[in-house]
Amino acid sequence: MERVEEHMNELINIINQIIELDKENSLKKHLGFDIKKNAQNFKSFMDSGWWCCFLLGHRKFGKYDVALRLTPNANWNNWNLVRVNSKNSAYTISNNIFSLPILRQRMLAEHDKVFVEFKDRFEKFESEVKPTYEILGILDQLDFMRVYVNDSTNIPNGTDGVDRYLKFLYRYDSSESHKIFREKLSEMIKLKDLMPNSVTGQDFGAWDQLFRNIVARRGVDYSNAIPLDQLSPILWNAFVLPHGFDTVGHQLSHYPDTGTPPEILIKDIARLLTADYYEFSSSITEHPLYSAAKAISEKGGSYVGVEHAEAAAILDDKLKDPVGAWNALVSAAFWAGINNGGEKMQITLWDQAIWLSKKEDWKDVYSVLSYQRKIYEEIK
């Protein structure tokens, strides 16, 4: 473990420094979760298939976890910040760990009482969070918040919460791809039967999977009105990504969908992909993951990810697609998690992911997988 601990020293040190500073547990109310992880919750998190994330902490009230989503070919400081609800679904909060304040800023954008109370105790808030913000290198956020709460025009009026929330998001992810994604989503919300003119060949960065799932949801809902040559990539581009992340329901919003079970959309996609009345191209029907679509459609609640695990091996060994293999392993872990595939299967998938990340030299991914695997064994 020497190489692992040395390489992950920066991230682990950041978290440990924050924990050491927060002896009075004052950060809990400012971050929205307890960064002091306990063994029971850590094991439960991993047993549920979320070894593909670096666990940051847990919120007992509301029962959710906050984590960083491991991403192949990306450094840890570019991993998405995600919230995992009740161990079975995760959604993107923002584009990296340095956007932790967004967990609480939505309240400021929506509730005038919270806004006024926060303004009145801003000095206390500043003294409590400043050391943490300093460690994260985001002291400029304190300056921004000071100006924000002292501007009376920012007091929520009950009708503009989304716009104010997006202003916070844009501070953390000011990329052009994020802005374009929000523009497309706004258009789709206003015109409920709208499909974007182009749904392939675009990368929306931290929000790419959310966009693909949104388009897939619309594709399923309006499948009878969409030509097959357009429907095929809409469904397939969502299906091949890791399952369990950034699910969406029928009602679109800029706020994350925290109430829709993630398996619903995937099951709907699998049903259409394997329907007798459609003739999809061989690039789909002969793909290793097509067997997983059939298994999901046929087995429903008894599917535990076996076909995804088998597809991962083919994608890596025969098709030389390691990222596709990673996605398949994560999807297998998701299905094993929600349908009780068992601890043994999760560990097998986890170990396969460690082997893959080491082979591909995904240093940060390999380091986190191995680091948390060591902790897991110590807890057991």
Q: What is the pLDDT of residues 143-194, one digit of tens each?
A: 999 999 999 999 998 777 888 899 999 999 999 999 999 998 998 888 766 6
Separation between Cα atoms, residue 20 and residue 302, nearest integer Å? 44
Identify the top-confidence range among 119-133, 159-173, 293-307: 293-307
Please compute the mean of the pLDDT values over residues 2-28 and round it to a whole number.
74
**Quick check: 11 pLDDT over 90?**
no
User: For the segment 181-210, what is each residue's pLDDT rounded down to a tens digit?
Assistant: 999 899 888 876 667 655 556 889 999 999
- What is the pTM assigned to this prediction? 0.94
Cα(137)–Cα(101) distance, rounded to whole angstroms? 12
| DSSP string over 241-292 | SPTTBS---SS--SS---SS-HHHHHHHHHHHHT-TT----HHHHTSTTHHH
Q: What are the residues facing 85 on neighbouring strands?
A: 64, 89
Alpha helices in the chain (DSSP H): 2-7, 9-21, 27-31, 39-47, 102-110, 112-120, 122-136, 139-149, 161-172, 176-190, 208-221, 228-239, 262-273, 282-285, 290-299, 306-317, 322-338, 343-359, 363-379
Q: Is residue 185 part of a domain?
A: no
pLDDT tens sequence across 83-116? 998 768 999 999 999 999 888 888 888 899 999 9
| pLDDT, position 1 | 41
Q: Within a domain: residue 109? A: yes
Q: What average pLDDT does the segment 260-274 reach?
A: 95
Amino acid identity of 257? D
Same domain membership, residue 149 and residue 10: yes
Measured from the Cβ of residue 287, the count of other Cβ atoms closer than 10 Å reads 21
Contact 185, 214 (CB under 8 A): yes
Longest CA pairwise span in the chain (Å): 64
pLDDT tens readout for residues 220-240 = 999 998 899 989 999 999 999
State whether 362 and 234 are in the same domain.
Answer: yes
Residue-level pLDDT at 2 = 42
Q: Do 314 and 242 share a structural domain?
A: yes
Q: In terms of domains, do 199 and 148 share one?
A: no
pLDDT at 59: 82
Same domain, 205 and 301: yes
Domain boundary among 172, 199, 224: 172
**Which tokens belong to 42?**
């850590």
User: What is the arithmetic mean of pLDDT over 317-346?
Assistant: 98
Instruction: Please report, as a single letter, which amino acid is at residue 115.
Output: F
pLDDT at 16 over 50: yes
> In 175-261, which ranges are continuous DSSP H helix?
176-190, 208-221, 228-239
The pLDDT assigned to 97 comes to: 94
Q: Which residue has the higher pLDDT, 31 or 118?
A: 118
The answer to the question of residue 177 being in a domain is no
Provide the number of structural domains found in the chain.
2
Q: Are residues 144 and 203 in the same domain?
A: no
Using the predicted structure, report yes or no on whether residue 344 has a pLDDT greater than 80.
Answer: yes
Q: What is the pLDDT of residue 198?
A: 57
For residue 161, the enclosing domain spans 2-172
150's tokens? 């002292």
User: Tens of pLDDT along 68-84?
Assistant: 999 999 999 999 999 99
In a domain, 180, yes or no: no
Query: Does residue 127 lie within any of the structural domains?
Result: yes
Domain boundary among 172, 204, 223: 172
- The answer on 152 and 210 residing in a single domain is no
